[in-house]
């Protein structure tokens, strides 16, 4: 990102997003090389997804009314 030191990817989902999205692709190579691990192990060692804390997932996660289940 502009003006920031590149840190590695946190998950495989983030890795795929950066290489797939044209707007993020210009930072993908540097971010991939900043990911810890050897050249062949970087991607393999990443978790598939990194779950965010509940407070960061979305504003409606706790406030959304749940549909009542019929018995």
38 CB-contact burial (10 Å; exposed 0-12 / middle 13-18 / buried 19+): exposed
Rounded Cα distance, 22 and 51, in Å: 24
**Tens of pLDDT along 9-61?**
888 989 999 999 999 999 999 989 998 888 888 888 888 887 776 666 665 55
pLDDT value of position 62 = 55
Residue 35 near residue 69 (C-beta atoms within 8 A):
no
What is the pLDDT, as a whole number, of residue 24?
92
Domain boundaries, the chain: 1-48
Confidence of residue 67 (pLDDT cuts 50, 70, 90): low
């Amino acid at each position: 990102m502009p003006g920031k030191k590149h840190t590695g990817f946190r998950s495989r989902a983030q890795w795929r997003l950066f290489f797939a999205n044209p707007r993020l692709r210009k930072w993908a190579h540097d971010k991939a090389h900043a990911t810890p691990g050897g050249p062949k192990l970087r991607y393999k060692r990443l978790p598939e997804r990194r779950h965010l804390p509940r407070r960061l997932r979305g504003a409606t996660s706790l406030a959304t009314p749940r549909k009542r289940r019929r018995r």
